Amino acid sequence: MKTLKLTIVALLLINFSFTSCQKESTVADNEGAVEASETARTVTTALKTRATARGTAGSSSTGTDVDNNLEFDFCFNFVYPIELQYNTGTSTTVTSSTALLTLVQGLTTTQYITGISFPFSIVTPTGTQVIRNETEFQAAINSCDTDHDGTANYQDSDTDGDGIADTDEDLDGNGDPSNDDTDGDGLANCMDSDDDGDGVETQYEDYDGNGDVTDNDADNDGTPDYLDNDADNDGVADGNDNDANGDGQDEDHGNSGNDNDGGGSDNDNDNDSGSDSDGDRISR
């Protein structure tokens, strides 16, 4: 009887310790151990570069806007908290974009991020996505390719593929091209295929055809045509100017007589939709 009791106690103990072990390992799995992640390093390094660029340019900007910069380079925002790990082995929990900014500003060549805890979630333009491993994380940043040229945004010097380098789309020169938005449509020029919102894509505003969009300024007002939504200064936004006289010449740029009244649009100051009914070569 005593032996039986002892056996039961022993069995209970074994069972208890087994259950206990199992529990611990389950908890560890759920916590998501930090795993090595080259992508985490890429993302934090890019953020650091943007934050630093702002600092050296010395002006207030959205270089400090982590969300904006993440969207620009990687097309997503993190859902916080996330857990990151330094190359030194130290882990840290990041609870907000502000905290992430502080973290990346403290990165150095000897202290950098080499790991992240999976899974975590990101918010993309199409919704929230769970990232379960390094492969998915890498796929997420590589699929962010605004101009679909096969080069992901974070590696693309001309993100929107309009022929103007990102650095040249940084109009306020603060080191951060993601906060310059000429037409105010919420899409920074470096991401906007039509920077001035006149309905004519930037790449097609190279009116002299020399391959350089930035040196065209039809009305000589100092604002290049691709940033000037009324490039000929006739009071009609270029988007409404398109082929106003039905002559088949798109954009009245360089088309001196848009309404076929014989007077160039810049000369007779007409509204491009008038006609020259009296034949005086001026429409009104």
Residues lying near Ca ion in the complex (CB under 5 A) are found at: 145, 147, 149, 151, 156, 158, 160, 162, 164, 181, 183, 185, 187, 192, 194, 196, 198, 200
End-to-end CA distance of the chain: 119
State the nearest-atom distance from the C-beta of 156 to Ca ion, in Å: 4
Nearest to Ca ion of 185, 221 (CB atom):
185
Instruction: Name the minimum Å distance from CB 217 to Ca ion.
Output: 13
Residues ≥6 apart with Cβ < 8 Å to 277: 283
Of 115 and 175, nearer to Ca ion (C-beta) is 175
Q: Which is nearer to Ca ion, 183 or 219 (CB)?
A: 183
Cβ of residue 50: shortest distance to Ca ion, in angstroms?
A: 17
Structural element, H or E, at residue 233: none
Quick check: helix, strand or coil at residue 244? coil
Residues 6+ away with beta carbon under 8 Å from 111: 86, 87, 88
Question: What's the min distance (Å) between Cβ of 92 and Ca ion?
Answer: 32
Question: In the structure encoding, which two tokens stand for residue 170, read together?
Answer: 């940084």
Shortest distance (Å) from residue 225 CB to Ca ion: 8
Per-residue 3-state assignment (H helix, E strand, C coil) for 45-101:
HHHHHHHHHHHHHCCCCHHHCHHHHHHHHHCCEECCCEEEEECCCCEEEECCHHHHH
